[in-house]
A and B are shown apart, each in its own frame.
Chain A
Amino acid sequence: MARLHPNGPKPAQITAGRIGLYVFLVVAALFFLLPLYTMVVTSLKSMDEIRLGQIFALPATLDFSAWATAWSGACMGTVCVGIRSGFWNSVAITLPSVALSVFIGAVNGYALSLWRPRGANLLFGLLMAGGLIPYQIFLYPMVRAMANIDLYNSLAGIILVHVIFGLPLVTLLFRNYFVSVPEELCKAARVDGAGFWRIFFEIMLPIAVPMVVVVSMLQFTGIWNDFLLGLVFAGRDNLPMTVQLNNIVNTTMGERTYNVNMAATILTAIVPLAIYFLSGRWFVRGIAAGAVKG
């Protein structure tokens, strides 16, 4: 850094290194933005224009018909109803899954860290191990068990599956959060006669609101973006948007309508992207918490 003189002019910082730095950042930004740009322009082109093979060219006219088709007319195999139903399926799957898994995770974290009943450490260890193991080993027996209790291929079934597979991470994050809450707070409440649930609802849950937001963000994007579990457990009538999107793009017969495909792709990405842009800091905290889970 240039030496600073209290009374001198603002130090000029344009050095070769500085320019190189900006060049690197701009090139990197182009690399990250290019796919988004191509998706958007492709979705606004007609197929005739796409066949010219100029993927980066701007569309000649703004044509939103591909968006309309993607939403309500695109074909999955022989059914042509668009990705609309997938959108509502994803909403119906994601909202209850997030609410339930966050609530149960918060109770778990609170019980495990502040009450520590018998076997708490064992339970926590088992959960963490379960969280590390690839889903594939659980799938077939779970499908059979869910079929036995009539939950396979149902909305309730896929929600239950998301709650189950979300438990390890959500419990971990809440446990780590509640561990840092002073125990005296809990002790004082007990002396005043409050029980397990009253302390949870009146003291601990209000304290944990920031964590609730962070974990909800993490779970929402995770569940919205899920593909595997939705594919296996949701059933034909409840397929989430990601699965329908893949069906539209990768199983179409005849010529591929790339403009419709790209519009459908953007529609699928738009909810998590909106969350990212609107919640910014919270989203970043969520993924950072999820990543550095120790």
Chain B
Amino acid sequence: MSIKRKPNLSATIALLPTWFVAVVVFIGTMAWSIRLSFTNSTLFPSSTYVGLAQYSKLFSSAKWLASLQNVLIFGVLYVAGCLLLGFLLAAALDRKIRFESAFRTIFLYPYAMSFVVTGLIWQWMLNPMLGIQASVRSLGWESFVLDWVVNRDMAIYALVLAGVWQGAGLVMVIALAGMRGIEAEQWKAARIDGIPVWRIYVSIILPQLGPALAAAGMLLAMGVIKTYDIVVAMTNGGPGNATEVPAKFIMDNLFGRQNLGLATAGATVLVLGVIIAVAPFRYAMHMRDKAKGAA
């Protein structure tokens, strides 16, 4: 229970700046943006309401639709790729490996670097004229093709590759910490029953890591919705619309094309997307906590 007997003034005052941020900055600016999305604002805010016109314009824009499709492909593959590779790396390191800490350091260092840096590194590696492709060709394999960043059909996978390279280490750290927390007894019991090691990881370890991996997946998914830097650094949305993403579409219309109404409509759709994605998860956690509290 709370320690307060009488309401404490200092505590209330200490939280005032945070109240200001929560109410004015977060709620206030969001309400302002949402309001703008119903107006015909272009360079400057306008107060002429046009109903859902900006939204219908948004969803008839080929670029926006492409960006939604791209972020979906990128998001699914990036999150799945990070989870899979991260889990495999953790499981491998869990097998009493020599030089474990060296391997761990190598797998995690990309996560310390920004998405801009990550994007630029991979742009360089995948440069068809001078990068990996040219190098392999000069070894004699003349028909070797690795032109992802300039190829319309493959550019999105180049982003996935760079993203997984950056993010898999995070999942590894979380999974490895979870594996180290599992009691030795379970291992002994499973080994006595003659269950092969890989089955133990899949059927016994993996389910116990569920909540931690779900949290990591959730975090990566939140990052996907914000995906902006890595695209700007690596492909700048191209070739064509092949790597256009919603966050970039909004930024371009907000500051480059001076298309406020359309940009805020896009941002509102993103927020709705987050709410739809997060709400069931939050609700499940809430119910679980409630059940715990009742028990």
- Whether the Cβ atoms of B219 and A55 lie closer than 8 Å is no
CB nearest to B97 among chain A residues: A25
**Known pairs A104-B18, A250-B233; A277 contacts B26 (CB<8 A):** no
Q: Which residue of A lies closest to B36 (CB)?
A: A140
Which residue of chain A has the shortest Cβ distance to B116 in the bound complex?
A242
Q: A111-B14, A111-B15, A291-B174 are in contact. Are A245 and B228 (CB under 8 A)?
A: no
Residues on A with C-beta less than 8 A from B10 are: 195-197
Chain B CB within 10 Å, residue with most, of A224, A288, A291: A291
Taken together as a complex, chains A and B put the C-alpha atoms of A196 and B7 apart, in Å, by 12
- The answer to whether A293 has its CB under 8 Å from any CB of chain B is yes
Q: Is the CB of B3 within 8 A of A190?
A: yes
Q: Using known A-B contacts A132-B274, A269-B114, A273-B112, determine if residue A196 contacts B267 with beta carbons closer than 8 Å.
A: no
Question: Does chain B have a CB within 8 A of A236?
Answer: no
Within 8 A of A (CB), among B29-86: 29-30, 32-34, 36, 45, 85
Closest to A276 in B: B112
Majority secondary structure of chain A interface residues (helix, strand, loop or mixed): helix
Which residues of chain B come closer than 8 Å to A88, judged between CB atoms? Answer: none
Q: Mark B248-281, 1 if CB is under 8 A from A, else 0.
A: 0011001100001001101110110010001000
Question: For the complex, is A193 an interface residue (Cβ under 8 Å from B)?
Answer: no
Complex contact B2–A116 (CB within 8 A): yes
A135 within 8 A of B: yes
Whole-angstrom distance between the Cβ of A130 and the nearest chain B Cβ: 4
Within 8 A of B (CB), among A28-51: 28-29, 31-36, 38-39, 42, 50-51
Nearest B residue (CB) for A116: B2
Q: How many Å lie between the Cα of A232 and that of B110 in the bound state?
A: 25
Q: In whole angstroms, what is the CA distance A51 to B251 when docked? A: 35
- Chain B positions within 8 Å of A171 at CB level: 18
Set of chain A residues within 8 Å of B225, measured between Cβ atoms: 134
* Given known A-B contacts A54-B138, A167-B18, A225 and B3 have beta carbons under 8 A apart: no
Residue of A with least CB distance to B2: A116
Q: How distant is the Cα of A126 from the Cα of B19 in the complex, in angstroms? A: 9
B204 interface contact, C-beta 8 A: no
Q: Give the 4 A-B CB pairs with smallest separation, nearest first.
A: A53-B134, A225-B114, A196-B10, A130-B26
Q: Is B87 an interface residue (CB 8 A)?
A: no
Say yes or no: A126 contacts B22, CB within 8 Å: yes
- Residues of B at under 8 Å CB distance from A? 2-4, 7-8, 10-12, 14-15, 17-19, 21-23, 25-30, 32-34, 36, 45, 85, 88-89, 92-93, 95, 97, 103, 105-117, 120-125, 129-132, 134-135, 137-138, 165, 169-170, 173-174, 177, 191, 197, 212, 215-216, 219, 222, 225-226, 228-229, 232-233, 236, 247, 250-251, 254-255, 260, 263-264, 266-268, 270-271, 274, 278, 285
Can you report 17 residue pairs joining A to B where beta carbons are below 8 Å apart?
A1-B191, A21-B92, A32-B110, A39-B121, A39-B124, A53-B137, A107-B14, A111-B15, A127-B26, A130-B22, A130-B25, A137-B268, A140-B260, A144-B45, A196-B11, A227-B228, A272-B114
**Contact A275 B212, CB 8 Å, known A108-B15, A232-B255:** no
Interface centre among A107, A138, A294, by most chain B C-beta atoms within 10 angstroms, is: A138
Interface size on A, residues (CB 8 A): 98
Give the residue of B3, B45, B121, B169 whose beta carbon is less than 8 angstroms from that of A265: B121
**Nearest residue in A to B215 (C-beta to C-beta)?**
A292
Residues of B within 8 A of A133 (CB): 26, 30, 271, 274
A290 to chain B, nearest CB (A): 8
Residue A221 CB within 8 A of the other chain: yes
Instruction: Tell me if A8 is interfacial: C-beta within 8 Å of chain B.
Output: no
Contacts of A31 in B (CB 8 A): 165
Chain A residues, Cβ within 8 Å of B33: 137-138, 140-141
Are B18's CB and A25's CB within 8 A? Answer: no
Q: Of the candidates B28, B215, B232, B274, which one forms a contact with A291 in the assembled complex, judged by CB atoms under 8 Å apart?
A: B215
Measured CB to CB, the closest approach of chain A to B277, in angstroms, equals: 9
